[in-house]
Amino acid sequence: MRLTPDQFWTYWEWLFERGGLLGGFLLALILAVLGFIAGFLIATIKYGPAEGFLQVAKILGEFFTVDLPKMSIRRIFAIAKLSFKEAIRNRILIVVAVFVVAIMFAGWFLDPKASNPAQLYIPTVLTFTNWLMLLMGLFLSTFSIPRDIANRVMYTIVTKPVRPTEIFLGRVLGFVAVATMNLVIFGVMSYFFIVRGLSHTHDLESLQNDGLAGETTSVRFHSHSFTLNEDGVGTTNMVKGHRHIVRKVGDKVVVSEQVDDLTARNPVYGTLRFTGRDGEENTGYNVGYMSEYQKYIEGDTLSSAIWKFENVDPKLFPDVLNFDMTLSAFRTYKGDIETPVGGVVIFRSLDGEVESDRIPFRVKEFQIDQHSIPLKLKGFRKGEPADLDFFTDIAQNGSFEVVVRCRDRGQYLGMAAADLYLRASEGTFVWNFIKGYISIWLQMFIVVCFGVMFSTFLSGPVAVIATISVIVLGMFGWFIDNLTTGKISGGGPVEALVRLPLQSGSETQLDLGNEMIEGAIKGVDRGLLFSVSTLKSALPNLYDLETSDFIAYGVNLFDGLLARHLTIAFGYFLMTSVIAYFFLKTREMAG
Amino acid sequence: MSSAAPAAPETNPTTSSAPTNPDIIVETRSLGKIYRDFWGRKKVQALKSLDIEVRRGEIFGLLGPNGSGKSTTIKLMLGLLFPTSGRAFVFGKEATDVAKNERIGYLPEESYLYKFLNAEETLDFYGRLFDMPASVRKERTEALINMVGLQRARRRQLREYSKGMTRRIGLAQALINEPEFLVLDEPTTGLDPIGTREMKDLIVKLREQGKTILLCSHQLADVQDVCDRVAILHQGELKELGRVDSLLKVQDVTQIHAKGLDENTKSQIRDLIAKSQGELLKMDNPTTTMEELFLDIVRDSENRPGRRSSNAS
């Protein structure tokens, strides 16, 4: 699972320090100015500049003085209820049937040999539900208002004391209610699909060590080994992302259903910095991968990865300090391929005077490497051996550093900030699962807002295309960013179109033998990319709202991140409401 | 040397103030509408400088052939269209003001309603749009369903309704807010003669209750029967405006209705007209209207089921 630095920001940090509020405000301001200019130009063409200005001012005035204050909840609910009934009577519940069929056969296509079935099942179900909900939001929201205008039912609505905002809000509320009902059904079915799909147990294959260790039978392409304590209780090893609890009941050894595959860990993250082989600060080594997500430290040198944790609450760790690692290894020589690359972990105080003993580990790639250390531990104070208390001596005021080094000469360990975290109490998987669905809900909500907004001034099919554009730009905005910044080579759409028939590789320079034509192509591409990029910056980044990885990888979705997504969705709701208001207010319903 | 005196500034009716007379329900001032295409090019001038007033308590008819501007006028009054020139006021407010809709009931040309709702749901929905509490909505829904005679079909979806039934539920939704001013666009379209008569009786009854009604129709008989005043439009222009009785009255023709005259007496009347230098245009037995004949037959048939009507020859 990859976490970007911005995902660690707290809600308030994002809102006030990282420009969340300012960005929203600027977007609102730019749209307001552009909207005013466009409105004024249109009104000027119709009525002349003076009368045009008066008309625009009048509409603006009515928005604040009449139409907003006189909104009626009853009218909004009336239109919402109507939209709900309309959707139900248009047989929207057929989508539920589609989902049921998909879920029934999904098991056939999920690889039973997967290294971690939970990380296969959960993203599959969540991604499928996500796209289904986006499509549902799209088709629910874009046709109703154009249909009402086309078949003139709108005549009987707008000749009642109904305000444009009420039409928009009622429609959005109704469609969101229908979609929410579907989403709840999908959520419940998905939950049982996942739980049922992962549920299994094993029988006893063999016992050793006077019955205190043994092997389970192979079920679903894996088996476990286990050890039991003197009370006859133990756990199996972690295979395919889960364990089993094993108990001796009388003469029999009973293996429970799997545990630890559906989790919601509450990680405490730190900030990461690196030192180079000479011990000087650097940004970590790049071992040649294009992705710069993880940086590497060199083995058997002073090269270190140092995580700084601040204000860690001791109450989160009453007995032991749990920490997980998801490091990767890069070998410059093959070496002993059976033995993973080794490293050490050191906990030390911020001033560096107190540090723990070195905790050796062997890197476990592609899985969560779980560790825990006792709170009373041995270490060094000013270089002298000492018995230490973690929160008194090392983590003074809850702040400390964790140093990771690679032990094997010539080998490298790779890490990003999210690859070492303290594992505090465990959240409940169900609540985390619900949070994942809230993320899907937010995306659907934004799509419905845009769909209804577009439908206030476009015909149904055109509104669908416009909303699809929002979804595509929202889901693949990162691609546009990479294209604009040149991270993806090969140029823009026109250059790509030229390269295709010429079979010219994207990594080579465009060479048509005519600099003027090449310049023209690149110029048009720059213009196109600038336009798309500008448009994208005003649209919601739906990709960022996608949180299925958190659920799949068992990380409790950060409340701050969810609150941020809620705020972003609300911001777009306000934006689309205002735009829809002006379009409904200024269009002729009988035109 | 310029000898021409400066021209007196023309008063611009579009900038004059809103009417204050509470007895004028609708007032249009030089109201005009030009339909344009996507590029803003003029397609058709649907209405040219219309000046009319609808007064409190009257039934005002808008009459004219297809494309004469009747529907455009109504849509401008309801704020469904925006005027290209001039202004329209309803209850002293701009026609585009949403607040005026509190006091208006509108029956469109076709009953444009949600076909997936039934009669009760339809009226409840429109009642909610007037922000009515549930108890009032229930009461009015009940009364209106009874009034328009849809008791048996109240739970059927409107998609199953006949044209006449749709018209009736359309009228009921127009009356849900007990409006002071009713706009009826072709109210008798799709109704059978009995329905037509009921509709006309209802319109008159509503006027008696103090409501003001604007009626737009092709059916000249409807307009003649119920309207107090009419405006006749043609090609977007107002051609005639006035009271129905005075418009229809032929000033230089005298009409005599008498019963039980023998041929001799009729001959004396002819002589008398000739002696007074008058011209006898017509003297014969009067005919009733087809509508009257049809209604008489139906009434007779209902009174004496199974027998051929006495009116039939």
Mean pLDDT of A154-176: 95
State the pLDDT at residue A448: 97
Residue B192's SS3 state is coil
Better-predicted residue by pLDDT, B110 or B212: B212
Side-chain half-sphere of B27: how many Cα atoms within 13 Å? 19
User: A42 and A186: one domain?
Assistant: yes
Q: Do A193 and A208 have their domain in common?
A: no
Q: What is the pLDDT of residue A106?
A: 84
Count: domains in chain A:
3
The answer to the question of residue A555 being in a domain is yes
What's the pLDDT at B293? 63
Judgement on whether residues A140 and A69 belong to the same structural domain of the protein: yes
- CATH 3.40.50.300 matches B14-248: yes
Confidence of residue B290 (pLDDT cuts 50, 70, 90): low
Rg of chain B on CA atoms, in Å: 24
Q: Among A393, A415, A437, where does a domain finish?
A: A415
Judge if A193 and A115 occupy the same domain.
yes
- Whole-angstrom Cα distance, residue A20 to residue A37? 26
Q: Do A151 and B81 touch (CB under 8 A)?
A: no
pLDDT level of residue B143 (50, 70, 90 thresholds): very high
- Measured in angstroms, the CA of B58 and the nearest CA of chain A are apart by 21
Same domain (yes/no): A475, A582: yes
pLDDT reading at A253 higher than 60? yes
Per-residue pLDDT at A510: 84
Confidence band for B310, pLDDT divided at 50, 70 and 90: low
Residue A531's CB is within 10 A of a number of other CB atoms, namely 10
Residue A268 lies in a domain: no
Q: Is the pLDDT of residue B5 over 50?
A: no
Q: Which of A415, A444, A475 is the last residue of a domain?
A: A415
What residues of chain A lie within 8 A of the CB of B131, using their CB?
A: 72, 74-75, 161
Chain A CB contacts of B103 below 8 Å: none
For residue B109, pLDDT beyond 60: yes
Residue A588 has its nearest CB partner, among B82, B121, B128, at B82
CB contact under 8 A, B116 and A67: no
Alpha helix (H) residue ranges in chain B: 70-78, 119-129, 134-147, 163-174, 193-208, 220-226, 244-248, 263-275, 290-303
Q: Would you call B60 an interface residue with chain A, using a CB distance cutoff of 8 Å?
A: no
Q: Cβ contact (<8 Å) for A152 and B131? A: no
A312 falls within a domain = yes
Instruction: Specify whether A522 is located in the same domain as A461.
Output: yes
pLDDT band at B258 (very low <50, low <70, confident <90, very high): confident
Q: pLDDT, tens digit, for every residue of A198-237?
A: 999 999 998 888 878 899 999 989 999 999 888 889 999 8
A178 touches A185 (CB < 8 A): no
Q: Say whether both A439 and A548 belong to one domain.
A: yes
For residue A498, pLDDT over 60 is answered with yes
User: Is residue B183 a contact partner of residue B217, using CB atoms and an 8 Å limit?
Assistant: no
Q: How far is A64 from chain B (nearest CA, A)?
A: 14
CA B4 to CA B165: how far, in whole Å?
A: 67
pLDDT of residue A567 exceeding 80, the answer is yes
Q: Which residues of B touch A154 (CB under 8 A)?
A: 112
Boundary of a domain, candidates A415, A442, A459? A415
Tell me if A282 is assigned to some domain: no
Taking CA atoms, A341 is separated from A332, A411, B66, in Å, by 11, 7, 89
pLDDT, residue A250, reads 83
Residues of A with CB below 8 A from B112's CB?
Answer: 151-156
Query: A86 and B114 in contact by Cβ < 8 A?
Result: yes
Nearest chain B residue to A152 by CA distance is: B112
- Tell me the average pLDDT across B37-61: 87
Residues A550, A406, single domain; the answer is: no
Strands A400-406 and A411-415, by their bridges, are unpaired
Which residue range(s) make up the domain with A330?
294-415
Question: In this structure, are A43 and A104 located in the same domain?
Answer: yes
Does residue A38 form part of some domain? yes
ipTM of the complex: 0.81
CB A35 within 8 A of CB A60: no
Tell me the percentage of chain A whose pLDDT exceeds 70: 100
| Cβ atoms B106, B170 nearer than 8 A | no
- CATH number at A389 reads 2.60.120
Cβ atoms of residues A201 and A195 within 8 Å: no
The residue among A174, A164, A170, A179 whose CA lies nearest residue A456 is A164
pLDDT of A240 above 50: yes
Of the candidates A70, A160, A588, the beta carbon closest to that of B130 is on A160
Subunit contact A74:B131, Cβ cutoff 8 A: yes
> Could you tell me if residue A148 is inside a domain?
yes
Quick: pLDDT tens for A343-369. 999 999 999 999 999 999 999 888 788
Averaged confidence pLDDT in chain A: 91
Mean pLDDT of B241-249: 74
Which pLDDT band, with edges at 50, 70 and 90, does B14 fall under? very low
- Residue A266 inside a domain? The answer is no
- Residue ranges matching CATH 3.40.50.300 in chain B: 14-248
Q: Which of A62, A67, A159 to mutate to test the interface with B (most CBs of B within 10 A)?
A: A159
